[in-house]
Structure 1
């Protein structure tokens, strides 16, 4: 009898905990504060950067540049960047971009231009 009562009480407590947890809502953020933080992020990534290396692969939506340390960086795009039509595999290029690049993470930013170097 005691075991049955304990199981029923524990079941009720579990249900109450689930109902109480599902009823919680996150506080809404002030839209002015959110707008300012997004503007700051956009301004922080607007810095123009350059990478010089050799083109390893060109596809319809991306290309891969390997720098002098043999580190490959892939650049993805929706529209072909300026100068890509004049580039082929094996060319040494300088890529101007905004955002961040990583050898393991996907490219986050915008390609400004790509130029063949001599």
Structure 2
């Protein structure tokens, strides 16, 4: 009886662990990241580092955009204080880390 109960508990634990490893709805990635939808953010370039930069929009919200594998197109030509338009894919949030790709940083009109 103890063996049957032990095997049953082991199977239940295995099923519970398998349920936790599921994919997000829509596949491996969801939202704009999956379909490559390009979005833009216009604001003032506040800070530039080797792996990220900060842009503050007209409402006063600051966004930290990280990048890997080289500086995004146009960022090297911009200076702190410039008004810029950032083209990106993914999700941008004031509180959560940036999850996406910066495509370009252009001087705004």
Q: Shared fold (TM-score greater than 0.5)? A: yes
Q: CA RMSD in A?
A: 2.9
SS at match of 1:63: strand
CA drift of 1:117 comes to 1.7
Equivalenced residue count is: 96
| Structure number having the greater helix percentage | 1
| Ranges in structure 1 where 5+ consecutive residues have no aligned partner | 1-15
2:15, 2:72 → 1: CA distance?
41
Determine which of 63, 66, 82 is the counterpart of 1:73: 63
Determine which of 18, 27, 30 is the counterpart of 1:38: 27
| Ranges in structure 2 where 5+ consecutive residues have no aligned partner | none
- Whether 2:100 is the aligned partner of 1:109: answer yes
1:72, 1:40 → 2: CA distance?
25
Tell me the residue number matched to 1:47.
37
TM-score normalised per structure 1: 0.69
Which one has more relative contact order, counting CA pairs under 8 Å at least 6 apart? 2
Tell me the residue number matched to 1:93.
84
2:51, 2:29 → 1: CA distance?
29
1:113, 1:52 → 2: CA distance?
12
Determine which of 16, 26, 29 is the counterpart of 2:15: 26
> Which is greater in Rg?
1
